[in-house]
Structure 1
Amino acid sequence: MGDPAGISPELTARLLALPELRGLCHFITIGDRRVLDEGAEIAGVSLDLETCRPADIPTAPSERPVFVDLEHLDPEEVRKGEASLAGGTFAIENFRTALLLAKEGRVDGVCFTPFNKKAMRYAYPGYDDEIRFVSDVLGYEGRMREFNVLDRIWNARVTSHIPLGAVAGSITQEAILAELELTADCLRQAGIEAPRIAVAGLNPHAGDGGSFGMEEIDIIEPAVRQAQERGLLADGPFPADTVFLRALKEGFHAVLTMYHDQGQIAMKVMGFDKGVTMIGGLPFPLCTPAHGTAYDIAGRGIADIGASREAVLLAVRMASSRSLKRAAE
């Protein structure tokens, strides 16, 4: 469960009530039963769950979804639509517990309903983003990256949560090549056998032959050629203002952009209510809806379940793919 002051409680309740999801996976949900029950009341759904304490989590799939009650938040302690230390502590502990279950191999994937970063920082001052927190909790030093996912297209990026002024200096051939390899691997885990990736340029008109910058000629093009030599189906760089149109028209499965908003704006315009954020590079899939906590509509029972549902479905596909691969080895 994510931030209790936003739409996360009602989204969690709606997810647990969807029969088609319960037929695809076994849910273990982390939170406080009082917060979940309030979310179910807001959402207008009834829940049939097996509730347990952390020490009693079943080691095998149960007939009913399991709710792990940390008993760590009275709903009266938070106000809807306001970031707070209590709300951040609630979300932090839920996230930490889920990550540790994954690290121990007791779950195959992790999903979370939206967090509020301000609240998370109240509870965990070093909280820059999910990647930083995951690294801290798991002691994981491998490469991780956020992907934004729609049913027709994925967006990967070379740089993420850094100032725009630092972007050009952070783009290297090695970084681009690493992102292309990680993107292709994650797409294969999601069921795409031969993923095609379009690469965006950095500068207007992809530099226009060097007229508006040399990054495309000196860095991005050589990285794309290296990727092709390694057998990856990558192409570009293409102008960033048309690369998504090209990708959709020509059947690319993903676009690799050079910085955060270069891809995020396009993805959210195309499907804000269905977009998923997936953190790739971990031994397990980690997914969440791409939208935020929607403080402005919290408690009104009108939150759209679409992106949360898609997050679970993507985690299921990727976890199943990993299981099949391990079984074949």
Structure 2
Amino acid sequence: MSGLPIAITLGDPAGIGPEIIVRAFHDAPQWTRGCFVAGDVGTVRAASQALRKDGQPAWPIAQIDGPEAARHAPPHCIPVLQVVAPPTGVVMGQVSAEAGRVAGECVVWAARAALRGEVAAIVTAPLHKEALAAAGFPYPGHTELLQAESAAHLGRTLADVPVRMMLANDELRTVLVSIHMSLRNAIDAVTFDSVLQTLHITHRALSAALGRAPRIGVAGLNPHAGEGGLFGSEERDIIAPAIAAARAAGLDAQGPHAPDTVFMRARRGEFDVVVAMYHDQGLIPVKYLGVEKGVNVTLGLPLVRTSPDHGTAFDIAGSGRADASSLIEALRMARTLVGASA
């Protein structure tokens, strides 16, 4: 698999996705070599033209006819495979069904190519969830869309392809029990089975990436991890039993620990990863350390998928100010994970 190209999906064409893709090819050739954009030639060409500096010519676009051609593209160009009907009427920085269609169809194409073994991994530029919904996709984001594509490919139900989100940088990794749902529903999603399943998915994924069993720190749900039941019973009745079951199965899982200190302990090296109980509990600490270095990794899929840890940034789209650092980190991590799975 490691000899195959990596597909970078276009993202929302009204956002910063095309811009950071162009910047990544220009600024990080060591990570973009052998990659190609699964998207729209015109959109990438427009982004390249917009990023010209000091009268220098824009980086040329090499339209390719298949993933394998990316490996033979000339240097100092951006290989693009046209995988969608060209967008019409998209306005930079505005939510639209048309932009959502393009972003969603690019991800579907890339997922299916990865599942067929045509690409080694996919790195997804940001899409806009409201635009995706307006286009008729019944998924709140990348993770759920990729889960559905994987389940369909494998002939399984969604429940049989459990996935989790991991956000990581060089200082901290965190995996979430629940992903995109309201806080009220996320609390209800903290069950024995969901916590135990998260621990097993985390253990399998990071064992492959690290070459050893990961040390997993588990955050509590409540302040002070419930303080012995004074601030909530979920730690005593749900999380601790799940950790005990994981340890009985041979996993190195510890906790539940106070959520306000467990991330600091992991950053100091006590744990390789923290399992957090809901979206913001786990993502705020990683993003606070710098969104330019964070990478979103979907665990549990039969393919490698990484992504920047930021959104479409409609407020600066088209201004030339978008930072490609997180996308470059996502490319670097994708290569690392492909190498680990080879």
TM above 0.5, yes or no, is yes
Partner Cα distance (1:41, 1:176) in 2: 48
Q: CA deviation at 1:255?
A: 0.7
Judge conservation of contact 2:294–2:329 (CA < 8 Å) in 1. Answer: yes
Q: CA deviation at 1:264?
A: 1.5
Judge conservation of contact 1:5–1:87 (CA < 8 Å) in 2. Answer: yes
Judge conservation of contact 1:59–1:106 (CA < 8 Å) in 2. Answer: no
Q: Deviations over 1:161-220 (max 9, x none)?
A: 222222333222222121111112222333352311110011111110111111111111
Q: CA deviation at 1:28?
A: 2.7
Normalised by the length of structure 1, the TM-score is 0.90
RMSD: 2.0
1:135 corresponds, among 131, 137, 147, to 147
Q: CA deviation at 1:136?
A: 3.2
Matching of residues 80-229 of structure 1 within 5 Å: 80-138=92-150, 139=152, 141=158, 142-229=161-248
Residue matched to 1:321: 340
How many residue pairs were aligned? Answer: 318
Judge conservation of contact 1:189–1:322 (CA < 8 Å) in 2. Answer: yes
When structure 1 is superposed on structure 2, of 302-311 and 138-147 the one drifting more is 138-147
Judge conservation of contact 1:200–1:256 (CA < 8 Å) in 2. Answer: yes
Judge conservation of contact 2:40–2:84 (CA < 8 Å) in 1. Answer: yes
Partner Cα distance (1:71, 1:235) in 2: 46
Secondary structure of 2:80's match?
Answer: strand
Q: CA deviation at 1:256?
A: 0.5
Partner Cα distance (1:73, 1:177) in 2: 44
Q: CA deviation at 1:110?
A: 0.5
Partner Cα distance (2:259, 2:226) in 1: 10
Partner Cα distance (1:49, 1:244) in 2: 43
Partner Cα distance (2:270, 2:224) in 1: 21
Residue matched to 1:4: 13
Judge conservation of contact 2:64–2:70 (CA < 8 Å) in 1. Answer: no
Q: 1:137 to 1:57 in 2, by over 3 A?
A: same
- The answer on 1:14 being equivalent to 2:47 is no
Q: Aligned residues: percent identity? A: 34
Partner Cα distance (1:57, 1:228) in 2: 43
Structure 2 segments unaligned to the other structure (5+ residues):
1-9
Structure 1 segments unaligned to the other structure (5+ residues):
324-329
Partner Cα distance (1:189, 1:265) in 2: 26
Q: CA deviation at 1:239?
A: 0.8
1:58 corresponds, among 64, 68, 82, to 68
Q: 1:158 to 1:4 in 2, by over 3 A?
A: same
Q: 1:66 to 1:37 in 2, by over 3 A?
A: closer
When structure 1 is superposed on structure 2, of 267-276 and 236-245 the one drifting more is 267-276
2:48 corresponds, among 40, 48, 71, to 40
Q: 1:63 to 1:34 in 2, by over 3 A?
A: closer
1:298 corresponds, among 317, 324, 333, to 317
2:81 corresponds, among 56, 64, 68, to 68
Secondary structure of 2:228's match?
Answer: coil
Judge conservation of contact 2:104–2:137 (CA < 8 Å) in 1. Answer: no
Judge conservation of contact 1:189–1:317 (CA < 8 Å) in 2. Answer: no
Partner Cα distance (1:154, 1:206) in 2: 20
One-letter code aligned to 1:72: A
